[in-house]
Amino acid sequence: MEANIIVNNQTPKKKSVELFQFFYKYGTMITIGVLILIFSFVNPSFIQSDNVINILRSISIVTIIAIGITISLTVDGFDLSVGSVASLSNAIVISMFVWFSQNTFIAIISAITASLLVGTFNSFMIVKLRIPDMLMTLATMFIIQGIALTYTKGATVSQNMVMPDGTMATGMISPHFAKIGAVPWIIIIMAAAVLLVHIFLTYTKHGRYMYVIGGNKEAARLSGIPVNKYKVVAYLLSALFASIGGIVLASRVMTAEINSGAPYLMDAVAAAFIGLSVLGAGKPNAFGTFIGAVLIGILQNGLVMMSVPYYAMDIVKGSVLAFALAITYYKQK
């Protein structure tokens, strides 16, 4: 009799655990499916091919930047400077065309080089001086914002702009560069970034080493894994993808706005953290980050179609992020 009572008492608990596991693994996918049904019912044009392409285009830059954050998370880091790095990269690549009449190759290499210097600075301060990742990259975020503003003198950089001396800028943005931010190339670049990082993290020893470091840094060190080396690589790759995001943004809008990359930070962070639970991964991963970006993109697009005020968007995105974090950390507990 007592055994039966124990079994009966454990059954509801076991079922609740299994239900939680199911929603932890498939909750994001289910949410995306439900949102598609709701938005399609409210506005049938939501599922038309043109709008689907528009959603993919809108999440491309967010996904690319979020991939960088994902890589930093694998080594138990967190890069908050990616938005500012994207702004700096955006400003440099456009200025190379407009101010200095450089070709596409020089413009892109200049932007990437500047961004990698930021990644090197972050790595040095975090690895050598042992400053906590979040605090250091937060400081770097403000520093790079200031550098970008100083470099552009607080002005929007664009073709035919008026220079400080009163003359007109003579440089022109290459038509080949302009194609990068257009469909289908912007979507192809995003897909390539997701695929390459997924392969790197999942199927190479270097990716597995990063996961080991993120899981237990001391155990990784005792196993002979060069922890500091991989943390440096993680922050360099994070800066690289932030730079690519800034370059793609520059190609899409053909100007360098003040702090243009800053609005992408929150969405990129949300996508990376939502991705932790996709398909029960329980760890940073490129595919999950992409799915997180898709969720955010569908929410934004659907809410715009429903004429929800733009100032309410952050409430929804913040709530989604808070829910994703609650599920993830409750699972870890």
For 67, the token pair is 């991939």
Structurally, the chain folds into a number of domains equal to: 1
In a domain, residue 12? The reply is: no
Please write the tens of the pLDDT for every residue from 49-71. 999 999 999 999 999 999 999 99
pLDDT of residue 312: 81
- Is 176 within a domain? yes
DSSP SS3 for 162: strand
Range of the domain at 155: 43-332
Cβ 53 vs Cβ 179: under 8 Å: no
In a domain, 242, yes or no: yes
- pLDDT given for residue 11 in this prediction: 67
Low-confidence ranges of the chain (pLDDT < 50): 1-3, 5-6
Question: Is residue 32 assigned to a domain?
Answer: no
Tell me: the pLDDT tens digits for 277-323?
Answer: 887 678 999 999 999 999 999 999 999 998 888 778 888 878 877 87
Query: In angstroms, rounded to a whole number, what is the distance separating the alpha carbons of residues 171 and 28?
Result: 46
9 within domain boundaries: no
Q: Is 273 inside any structural domain?
A: yes
Residue 10 in domain = no
pLDDT at residue number 25: 81
Q: How far apart are CA 127 and CA 229, in angstroms?
A: 9
CATH number at 222 reads 1.10.3470
**Do residues 97 and 171 make contact, with C-beta atoms less than 8 angstroms apart?**
yes
Question: Is 223 inside any structural domain?
Answer: yes
